[in-house]
Structure 1
Amino acid sequence: MSRKLLPILMMMVVLSPLAIDIYLPSMPEMAVEFGVSDTQVQSTLILFILSMGIGQVLIGPLADRYGRRPIALVGICLYIASSFFASVVVQFEYLQLARVLQGIAACATSIVVFSAVRDKFNVQQSAHYYSYLNGVICVIPALAPTLGGFLALHFGWRASFIFMTAFAVLVLFIVAFRLPETRPEHANNHAALYRWARYQPVLANSQFIFYALTCMIGMASILTYVSYAPSWIIKHIGLSELTFSYLFGFNAIINIIACFAAPKVIKKVGNHQTVSIALWLMVLSGALQLVLQQLPFTNLLIGGLYYMSPMLLLCVGFALLLGPATSMALSAFGERAGTASALLGCIQMTGAALLTGLLQQTSLTGPYAATLMIGGSGLLLLVIMTLPKYKHWHQERSSYA
């Protein structure tokens, strides 16, 4: 059953990044059509991630109580409805509402995917499967912006949301007929859904907190890159939407390669060392971004490469980071996998959205915002990992509950 389960989870996990990446090339056009600023259009990304995060603590316990399968079906149906709603709105505020609903829907499928992996595989296997799933996630940034640019060029930006609707309908049929229930049979189905006793054992685990914050920093770094890139490349540098898609797609291809190579790195050096390597790559990405922005350019493409090339290091670092960090955060939890996954997602998504949203309120331009978020936060985590008094926060354990 495990071999049959993974392809279904791969289809489901696509829904979240698809809702982020496919409409990126259309963001400048959307700002013009709705008569809003770049920052307001960027808020549709922030709201999606924020609602994904907040929705985790509501939906995670439901997945533990009622099972993974029904939560997946309801989440996909909501994704279909909200995507179609976004494709027909005429007021910007309704687009923002649609993105909130879409984020809640995407968080439901995300919880099911990551809980199902924890349900069926041990800790070391889970790290590998999380990396494979992240590899699938990373395929979408390579393909979706080009597809979204093509759809927007021929049919307008609304076509991207219609595509999301159609893809989700396909996933719904696959999940309805092929997804088995993976929730452990011995799970406690009678405890209250929302009570402190359900969350306290997870939040009291120092290793969970450290790696949840690590995942949050990784996500905030990616969100900063993604939200600033269209405006900086298309509006500031002056490159076309299609050129932006190619640059963004090339970085995503590197991310894909890194994601599928990550299990081999994890197997060779272990989860803890892989996280350290990933954080160093993030620090180098921020440093290189700072250096390249000091160099003059006369060619627009070179200007675009000055911003995008340091992000290659971020993409590799993020690919290496998320699998082992997720695995080590969830490693101590068996029948609480849904709740632990929910809290992890809440911290990761909500924290990333808030950090990026606060950053967007400053006067920092794209490259310097990226330098601060990616390089600065990565360096902070590395400093913590070098301090002996915090060793119990991050050290890799030989056995798990």
Structure 2
Amino acid sequence: MQRNLLFILMSMVLLSPLAIDIYLPSLPTMAQDFSVSNSQVQSTLILFLFAMGLGQVIIGPLADRFGRRPVALFGLVLYILSSLLAVVSKEFELLQVARVLQGLAACSTSIVVFSAVRDCYSVKDGAKIYSYLNGVICVVPALAPTLGGVLALYFGWRSTFAFMMLYGLIMLVIVLWKFPETRPVNTVSEGALYRWARYKPVLTERHFLFYAVCCMTGMGAILTYVSYAPVWLIGQLGVSELVFSGLFGINAIINIAACFGAPWVIKKLGNRPTVILALSLLVGSAAMQFLAQEIGSQMGMAAAVGFMLPMALLCIGFALLLGPATSMALSAFGERAGTAAAMLGFIQMSGASLLAGLIQQTSLTAPFAVITVMGGGAIILLSIMSMKRMNAWHVERLAQD
């Protein structure tokens, strides 16, 4: 059963990254078709991630109350319907609604996947399963844009959402047929679903807040890069959808390699030093991007490479940052790990979407928007970590005892 379950979980976890990456090459074309600005079409990414973050708080308790299987089925049906709504949307506002619903749907299936790992595997085996799942998630950004570019080239951008709908249908059949209820019988499922007393100890813990903001900053930098890259490279610099997919895929492969190398770095340096290294890489990426824009080419393939090369350093920094920052944020919550993880996901994803959404309201070009989010955020966080009087916010607990 567990072997079949792993296959289902790995297949189901693809729904979220697929909905982010497969339609990236189509963003400039979508802006033209709907006669909207670049920032408006980028909002379809922002809204999706914001809904995923908000769903952590809303849907998480529902999986404990009603079980994993009903929430998974709800998420898949909503994913299919929201993808269909995107396919048939004639008004841009309907597309935005579809993306919000799709974000909630992807959040539902993601919560079920990671809950099922905790339900069915030991701590030791669960760590391996999480590694498999994260590996699958990292592979999608390398492959999905190329698939999306080919689909858009031959069938138009709506075909990318039709592909999501088809994949959702396949997963619905698999889950109906093979996915069992995994919720433990001793799961607490009574009482109020949402109450302040559950979240207050988490949101008032300084250590949690600092490292949650670290995660949010890294995710905000990645989201700004991902949302700006297609409209900048395709719309402004004039590269083709397939060339964009290739460049984006190279950076995704670098991110995959960094994800696999991150555990070794963390083992050698420790959590807090790795966070410092990762934030320093974000600052370095911002500096490289600034130099590329000041002294590099401004058009064509050379400019595209000049924009994407510093983003490779961002991908490495993000891969190094997320693991130790997440571990440090959750370190104080042995008995509230589920609630703390949900709040961390909310802050990370919804906060990042707000950061990216705010920067899109400015007149900054893509390179300088990314510089502002990742460079500015990383510098502020590194400055806090350099202050002894702020040690309670960021120094590891064992180092304090």
- Equivalent in the alignment of 2:107: 107
Which range is displaced more, 150-159 or 80-89? 80-89
- Equivalent in the alignment of 1:374: 374
* C-alpha deviation, 1:202, in angstroms: 2.1
State the AA in 1 paired with 2:244.
F
* In structure 1, distance between residues paired with 2:283 and 2:197: 38
- Equivalent in the alignment of 2:329: 329
- Equivalent in the alignment of 2:158: 158
* In structure 1, distance between residues paired with 2:118 and 2:25: 35
State the AA in 2 paired with 1:42.
Q
Cα–Cα, structure 1 residues 155 and 309, in superposed 2: closer, same or farther, change >3 Å? same
CA contact (8 A) 1:131 1:262 kept: no
* In structure 2, distance between residues paired with 1:87 and 1:184: 38
What do the CA deviations read for 1:278-322 (whole angstroms, capped 9, x no partner)?
212111111110111111427621110110000001111111222
* C-alpha deviation, 1:3, in angstroms: 6.6
Which range is displaced more, 181-190 or 9-18? 181-190
- Equivalent in the alignment of 1:37: 37
Cα–Cα, structure 1 residues 171 and 20, in superposed 2: closer, same or farther, change >3 Å? same
State the AA in 1 paired with 2:373.
M
Cα–Cα, structure 1 residues 24 and 310, in superposed 2: closer, same or farther, change >3 Å? same
Q: Does 1:59 align with 2:59?
A: yes
* In structure 2, distance between residues paired with 1:316 and 1:238: 27
- Equivalent in the alignment of 2:339: 339
Q: Does 1:187 align with 2:194?
A: no
CA contact (8 A) 1:127 1:263 kept: no
Query: How does 1:200-211 map onto structure 2 within 5 Å?
Result: 200-211=200-211
* In structure 2, distance between residues paired with 1:207 and 1:52: 24
What do the CA deviations read for 1:114-136 (whole angstroms, capped 9, x no partner)?
444555565x9877765553332
Structure 2 counterpart SS, 1:69: helix
State the AA in 2 paired with 1:135.
G
* In structure 2, distance between residues paired with 1:367 and 1:348: 22
What do the CA deviations read for 1:324-354 (whole angstroms, capped 9, x no partner)?
3223333444564443332122111111111
- Equivalent in the alignment of 1:288: 288
CA contact (8 A) 1:60 1:341 kept: no
Cα–Cα, structure 1 residues 394 and 170, in superposed 2: closer, same or farther, change >3 Å? farther
Which range is displaced more, 81-90 or 93-102? 81-90
Cα–Cα, structure 1 residues 177 and 273, in superposed 2: closer, same or farther, change >3 Å? farther
CA contact (8 A) 2:237 2:299 kept: no
Query: How does 1:236-255 map onto structure 2 within 5 Å?
Result: 236-255=236-255
Cα–Cα, structure 1 residues 177 and 398, in superposed 2: closer, same or farther, change >3 Å? farther
* In structure 2, distance between residues paired with 1:117 and 1:330: 18
* C-alpha deviation, 1:183, in angstroms: 4.3
- Equivalent in the alignment of 1:387: 387
* C-alpha deviation, 1:55, in angstroms: 2.0
- Equivalent in the alignment of 2:353: 353
* C-alpha deviation, 1:370, in angstroms: 0.8
CA contact (8 A) 1:111 1:342 kept: no
CA-based RMSD? 2.5
Q: Does 1:225 align with 2:225?
A: yes
Gaps of 5+ in 2: none
- Equivalent in the alignment of 2:133: 133
State the AA in 2 paired with 1:33.
D
State the AA in 1 paired with 2:343.
L
Q: Calculate the TM-score normalised by the size of structure 2.
A: 0.91
Structure 2 counterpart SS, 1:294: helix
What do the CA deviations read for 1:12-65 (whole angstroms, capped 9, x no partner)?
222111111111111111111111111111111111111112222111221232
Cα–Cα, structure 1 residues 205 and 242, in superposed 2: closer, same or farther, change >3 Å? same
- Equivalent in the alignment of 1:74: 74
Aligned residue pairs, count = 398
State the AA in 2 paired with 1:223.
L
State the AA in 2 paired with 1:173.
V
Gaps of 5+ in 1: none
- Equivalent in the alignment of 1:26: 26
* C-alpha deviation, 1:251, in angstroms: 0.5
* C-alpha deviation, 1:186, in angstroms: 3.7
* In structure 1, distance between residues paired with 2:283 and 2:241: 29
* In structure 2, distance between residues paired with 1:317 and 1:180: 38
* C-alpha deviation, 1:323, in angstroms: 2.4
Which range is displaced more, 281-290 or 316-325? 316-325
Q: Calculate the TM-score normalised by the size of structure 1.
A: 0.91
State the AA in 1 paired with 2:236.
H
* In structure 2, distance between residues paired with 1:173 and 1:387: 55
* C-alpha deviation, 1:189, in angstroms: 1.8
State the AA in 2 paired with 1:74.
F
CA contact (8 A) 2:296 2:306 kept: no
Greater relative contact order (Cα < 8 A, sep 6+) = 1
* C-alpha deviation, 1:184, in angstroms: 4.9
* In structure 2, distance between residues paired with 1:39 and 1:264: 39
* C-alpha deviation, 1:260, in angstroms: 2.0
* In structure 2, distance between residues paired with 1:383 and 1:8: 44
What do the CA deviations read for 1:112-171 (whole angstroms, capped 9, x no partner)?
33444555565x987776555333222111111110010011111011001111112233
* C-alpha deviation, 1:212, in angstroms: 1.7
What do the CA deviations read for 1:57-82 (whole angstroms, capped 9, x no partner)?
11122123233333222112211111
CA contact (8 A) 2:281 2:314 kept: yes
Cα–Cα, structure 1 residues 269 and 2, in superposed 2: closer, same or farther, change >3 Å? farther
State the AA in 2 paired with 1:67.
G
State the AA in 1 paired with 2:340.
A
* C-alpha deviation, 1:271, in angstroms: 2.9
State the AA in 1 paired with 2:146.
T
